[in-house]
Amino acid sequence: MIVRPKIHPIAILFTLKGSIAKRIALRALMITLLASAIVLVEILHPSYFASVSATPFTLLGLSLSIFMSFRNNACYDRWYEARKAWGEVIVHIRSIIRETHGIRDSAERKPLLLNLCGFAHALNARLRKESEADASSQWVMPKPDPQTPDYSGRILQTVGQQCSDLHQNGELTEWRYMLLANHLTSLTQAQAVCDRIKTTPLPFPYTLLLHRTIYLFCILLPFAMAEPLGWLTPLFTAIVSYTFFGLDAIADELEDPFGRDENDLPTDALVRTLERDILWELGAEMPPALKPVDYVLS
């Protein structure tokens, strides 16, 4: 995720970090070169373009803008819902830390909290299609079977069993045990939300139709602009293609908010926050909080 202070209005014109320009530069350049070639043909053979009207492009551009707005809003909703789900993970793990203060034996409390930290690491790896077992190995005890289909959920099951044992041993009262069980259920719900976002992309026909329409619009637009605008056509075509290609690329990034793109969620930093909270509670040495590197918080 890009984290940077507000920059000067002039400097923002030349800022590339976090910009989508690098991803779409080649496509926009090809469309601009095509527009230049079309203008040259129009100058040499003006009769070819005498009957080309800009009216259909106005209607198509308006429809395309509305459709892109719908898709970008849907992708942003996925990004924001994922951030809220991770907020729920932080809230409920911190609540469990608070509720377990009543456990008198620190040796019994420690593995419970470490397993919660392991769950956060495992969930982060799960959403990035990495090894959950490797990501959580230094935290989880006992370690679940690496072949289990729901490794993160198995860690929560272990925590639930630890809470049940503490309740039976008299370390947790009935009502406090119920509170902890409710927090674990909420963690499972947050994991399910993240899994749903990860495994359910936007319907493919929407994406396919939008991609095709954008390319057709940008390729055909210079034919309507060549006669009235002349050599200004490549400039305006570059602006239009930058806008449409850029919005399309941004939506692609936001659709999967758990990756390692510059604009994805900083889940590593969120996991580190929980890690520091738990280690502080256990009186252990804490790693430093993650800071943005070149304005990117991972």
Higher pLDDT, 2 or 279: 279
Query: What is the structure's pLDDT at 42?
Result: 82
Choose among 28, 40, 23, 70: nearest CA to 262: 23
pLDDT at 10: 65
Closest by CA to 166, choosing from 99, 95, 94, is: 99
Mean pLDDT in residue range 32-41: 90
pLDDT > 80? residue 15? no
Give the end-to-end CA distance of the chain in Å, rounded to a whole number. Answer: 6
The answer to whether 117 touches 274, Cβ cutoff 8 Å, is: yes
| Alpha carbons 85 and 183: distance in angstroms, whole number | 13
**pLDDT tens digits for range 55-105:** 777 778 788 888 888 888 999 999 999 999 999 999 999 999 999 987 877
User: Counting Cβ atoms within 10 Å, is residue 15 exposed (0-12), middle (13-18) or buried (19+)?
Assistant: middle
> What pLDDT score was predicted for residue 13?
62
Q: Which amino acid is at 217?
A: F
pLDDT at 9 over 80: no
pLDDT tens-place string over residues 181-240: 999 999 999 999 999 999 998 888 888 888 888 998 888 888 888 888 888 889 999 998
φ/ψ region of 294 (left if φ > 0, alpha if ψ in -120 to 50, else beta) reads: left
Give the C-alpha separation, 254 to 256, whole Å. 5
Which tops the pLDDT comparison, 298 or 117? 117
pLDDT at 172 over 70: yes
* Average pLDDT over the chain, rounded to an integer: 87
Domain ranges across the chain = 22-281
- Give the Cα separation of 54 and 35 in Å (integer): 15
Helix (H, G, I), strand (E, B) or coil at 146: coil
Residue 160 has pLDDT above 90, yes or no: yes
- Please give the average per-residue pLDDT across 123-137, as a whole number: 94
16 pLDDT exceeds 80?
Answer: no
Specify the higher pLDDT residue, 77 or 53. 77
Nearest of 204, 226, 245, 238 to residue 64 by alpha carbon: 245
User: Is pLDDT of 53 > 80?
Assistant: no
Query: What's the pTM value of the predicted model, to 2 decimals?
Result: 0.88
Question: Looking at the predicted structure, is the pLDDT value of residue 49 above 80?
Answer: no
pLDDT higher than threshold 90 for residue 263: no
What share of the chain in percent tops pLDDT 90? 44
Average confidence (pLDDT) over 253-267: 89
Does the pLDDT value for residue 51 go beyond 80? no
- Residue 274: predicted pLDDT: 95
Reply yes or no on whether the pLDDT at 23 is more than 90.
no
Task: Name which of 51-65, 68-82, 109-123, 253-267 the model is least confident about.
Answer: 51-65
Does the CA dihedral 156-159-161-163 come out positive or negative? negative
